[in-house]
Amino acid sequence: MTKPIYILNGPNLNLLGTREPEIYGAMTLDDIAAACAAHAGKLNQTVEFRQSNHEGVLIDWLHEANLKASAVIFNPGAYTHTSVALHDAVRAIEPPVIEVHLSQTAARETFRHHSFVASAARGSITGLGLASYLLGIDAALHCLHH
């Protein structure tokens, strides 16, 4: 059986649906997880969907993904803009990593314009809400087959 795609989510994403819905929309993280599982299922792929508010846990999951995942869809949340450690963890693993964000980070506060993860990831998809995740799955599968 094919290894799952890990979909990893960083801090505060557990608050989706109630946190700034004008920016992040009304979907909960559980809604996004269900949509990702359904989309991946249509492509004969499984996902392992996780969220943590802790940087070290995200790093551990990236290390685990190196052995157990075919690819990684990664929304590092605010750590995107602060974490060299996550950058290094993404660079250190073999599976392709696609960075995703619900909002268009480049159109937000200046401190959100730089991503430490982007230069280590295979690609980035931002600003498309749920579609960022679904296109991330498509992009990961494209990377695996090309």
What are the start-end ranges of the E strands in the chain? 5-9, 47-51, 71-75, 97-101, 123-126
Give every CB contact of residue 109 below 8 A, 6+ residues apart in sequence. none
* Burial state string for 29-44 with b = 16 or more CB within 10 A and e = fewer than 16: beebbebbbebbeeee
Whole-number Å distance between alpha carbons of 119 and 77: 16
Question: Which residues are part of the catalytic machinery?
Answer: 24, 101
pLDDT in tens, 132-141: 999 999 999 9
Judge whether 103 is annotated as a binding position.
yes
Judge whether 75 is annotated as a binding position.
yes
> What CATH number has the domain bearing residue 135?
3.40.50.9100
Give every CB contact of residue 33 below 8 A, 6+ residues apart in sequence. 7, 47, 49
| pLDDT of 115 higher than 90 | no
Number of domains the chain is built from: 1
Judge whether 66 is annotated as a binding position.
no
pLDDT in tens, 44-83: 999 999 999 999 999 999 999 999 999 999 999 988 887 8
Containing domain of residue 89, as a range? 5-145
